[in-house]
Structures are given as structure tokens and as C-alpha cells.
Homo-oligomer: A and B are copies of this chain.
Amino acid sequence: MIAVLKPNVSDQQMQTLITWFKGRGLDVHVSKGKFQTILGLIGDTSQVDIDLLNGLEIIESVKRISEPFKNANRKFHPDDTVVDIAGYKIGGGNFQIIAGPCSVESREQITEIAKRTKAAGANLLRGGAFKPRTSPYSFQGLKGEGIEYLEAAKAVAGTPIVTEIMNINHLPMFENVDVIQVGARNMQNFDLLKELGTTHKPILLKRGLANTISELLMSAEYIMAGGNENIILCERGIRTFETSTRNTLDLSAIPVIKELSHLPVIIDPSHATGVARYVKPMALAAVAAGADGLMIEVHNDPKNALSDGAQSVTPDEFDDIAEKVWKIREVIA
């Protein structure tokens, strides 16, 4: 961490500040120049509050050099984390597709889709039981019943299940869920993250629409600080001025995250684009960019889907996507 002092700071003020830093366990190196003095703070700065420093009268600016996350940081954990989901592995060279409808609608629907997508190579089944909707008047999901249907589909198709949690108090209902998803809107619901840190279930953590990669890693850090290291990160589009897609899929997040962290990262092209016919090109692009997996919305009857039908591909379209995914995996291997 670097602290740049204001031009007119006295020696005594500087010494007081240095003493204060040393009291926090940091080494301080002083670069005194004609115009400006710079303090290099060396040691564990991850717990230093950068806003607090900026508030000090004699400091012009403070810049962090090392990242404020530790458990999620590749520097301290060079090997890729491999998350094991009932035998299916993701990360460290292992690739998985999570497929399924936006919302669970019925036992038959989810079971049928699970069988079809599993046959095409998607080992994991997704389906929303609790649905975060912008409007209180939109369909909010089948809730507990939806989770039961997911479990029924898993029993038939052999697909571990992934579904979203919106409320800490619902945790008991997620006992048989294999991967608990934290949605984009809850990426900084810190109390929820802390609670999930006390479980041992794999967590699929989606990036918020306006959150930086660094903040995504800090939210992973919240879960990991609680003891749960089974985290899969998911990029699903960020908010920009462009309106031709629902959000802007930030695929460069893949190499950036892989450099900063050891956690696996997957891509959700369905929510990012919001348009079924853009899912295939974006899914293939994600694989080519090195993603550890994909999360794709598949619906047997998208026109009549209860939510987000516009972004769901049909099982036939999914077959085609999956086939090309494996081929691109070979090319970049």
C-alpha cells in the first residue's frame, strides 16, 4: 500500500503517521522527493481501511498495491480449486455444463428437460424455485415445491441440482440441493454470504450487475472466511449503456479471474444476453476464452415459459451448442 503525503506536511506530522502505521504491524519505507513524499507500507494491509486513510488530513491519496482478498487469492493458493459436486468436478481443467429452465414449472417439465440435457452432456441441472423478480406482480417461483420437483428430476436423471437461495431462513429447504446459487442481486447480501460460509455445500456466486471483479472476489472471501472454500464464480453480464442485449457479457472476466484467483469461473450467456439466439455464439465464446463451465437456460417450450422464455434455447438447440462446446474444449486443451 502506498500513501502519498500532501506537499506541506511537517516532519513531526509524518513521524506521527509512521508511528501509527507501525502500531498496526506495518513496515514503512519513506521516499522523500522535492515535491512529494511517498510512504510505502509493507506487510499485511488487507485489514487496513483505505477510506479511513484517505480521511487523514495530511494524506493526498492512498493506493492499494496488493489485493485485499486472501483466501480467494491465487498468490497464496497457486493451484486451481476443484469443486466436487456429487462426483462431477469443476475447475482445474474440469468442465461442466449446468442446464435447465429458468423456473421449475412442474415435475414433468423439469424431469423431461433434465433427461434431455443430461443426454447432451450437461451433468448438472438448474431450475429456479425462488425467483427474484423486479416486479412484485410477476411469478415468484414454486418455492419449496419447486425444490421437491428438482429432487424428483435428479432421482430420475442422475443430475445434481443447482438452485438459488434468496433468504437465509430458507436454508433448511436446501438440504438436498447440491449447489446453492447466490444471484446477482444478492452478491453483496453479506449476511447471506456469511451464513453460507458456515455450510459445506458448493456455492455458485454470481457477479452483480454493477460489481467489479475485485468485489466479486471479496464476496467469495466472505464465504471463504467462514470456512467454506467450495465456490464457483459466475459472470452473467454487467450493466452498460448498450441496450441491444439485456446486459453486456464481460468475457474478459475469465482470464482476469483466473489470474487473480484459483476459484473456477463459469459463464451464463442466457441471462447476460436475454435473447435465445445469442446464447450459442456467447456460449462458444466463453469456452474459447477458457471458462470452466457454462450455465444455460433450456426449456422444452420456451414460448410458454413462465419466466424468461425469451432467453431459453430448446433441447434441440442445446444439443447443437453442447456438441460444439466439446470440440472447442479440444482445440484449446
Interface residues in chain A, defined as those with a beta carbon under 8 Å from any beta carbon in chain B: 2, 4, 27, 29-36, 38, 40, 42-43, 46-47, 49, 51-52, 54-57, 60-61, 63, 65-66, 68-69, 132-139, 166-169, 185-186, 188-191, 194, 208-210, 212-215, 218, 221-222, 225, 238-245, 248-256, 259-260, 272-274, 276-278, 281-282, 284-290, 302-303, 305-312, 324, 327-328, 331-332
Contacts and interface: CB of A to CB of B under 8 A. Distances in A.
A40 B33 CA distance: 9
Contacts of A307: 49, 51-52
13 contacts: A2-B2, A2-B38, A34-B43, A49-B307, A51-B307, A55-B303, A55-B309, A69-B135, A136-B225, A168-B169, A240-B241, A243-B243, A252-B278
Number of copies: 4
Contacts of A42: 31, 33-36
Given A55-B303, A254-B281, 6 more contacts: A46-B137, A49-B307, A52-B305, A240-B240, A240-B248, A242-B250
B34 A310 contact: no
B190 A189 contact: no
A169 B189 CA distance: 13
**Which secondary structure dominates chain A's binding surface?**
mixed
Contacts of A27: 33-34
A281 B274 contact: no
A53 B244 CA distance: 17
Closest 3 CB pairs of A and B: A210-B210, A55-B309, A33-B42
Question: Which of A31, A52, A244, A252 has most chain B Cβ within 10 Å?
Answer: A252
Contact of A57 (B136, B209, B273, B303): B303
Contacts of A168: 167-169
A248 B238 CA distance: 10
Contact of A188 (B185, B213, B286, B309): B185
A242 B248 CA distance: 12
B288 A52 contact: no
B212 A243 contact: yes
Contact of A277 (B134, B218, B255): B255
B241 A241 contact: yes
Contact of A310 (B35, B52, B136): B52
Contacts of A51: 274, 307-311
B288 A281 contact: yes
A221 B136 contact: yes
A217 to B, nearest CB: 10
B327 A242 contact: no
Contacts of A166: 189-191
